[in-house]
Amino acid sequence: HNLEMKHLPGADPELVLLSLRYEELERIPLSDMTREEINQLVQELGFYRKETPDAPVPEEFQFAPARPLPILLPRQAPTADCKTPPKRDKEEHPDL
């Protein structure tokens, strides 16, 4: 569920993880992996495999994020003294 295969002739196979806003989060090369290893990777990333193509998807897997989404806090407005809200850490990404 929520996994799409696109064949690009001449390109090395890779898994491209996107955010809910379709922003690229990560690329994982698949050239040296077997089919079983790729299936295991997708499962470890948290994607749901339907038993049949028309089977329902459990609610917790509807958006099938590769990693759990954090609880997003509302954006803080600048304060009266015109200071801006604190910046996020370099490694922190709002869509992870």
Q: Considering the entire predicted model, what is its pTM?
A: 0.58
Q: Which domains does the chain have, with CATH numbers?
A: 14-61 (3.40.30.50)
Instruction: Choose the most confident range, by mean pLDDT, from 25-34, 39-48, 60-69.
Output: 25-34
Residue 95 near residue 69, CB atoms below 8 Å: yes
Average pLDDT over residues 30-52: 90
Provide the 3-class DSSP secondary structure of residue 24.
strand
Average pLDDT over residues 63-68: 59
> How far is it, in rounded angstroms, from Cα 48 to Cα 45?
9
pLDDT band at 76 (very low <50, low <70, confident <90, very high): low
Average pLDDT over residues 56-71: 68
Average pLDDT over residues 47-53: 87
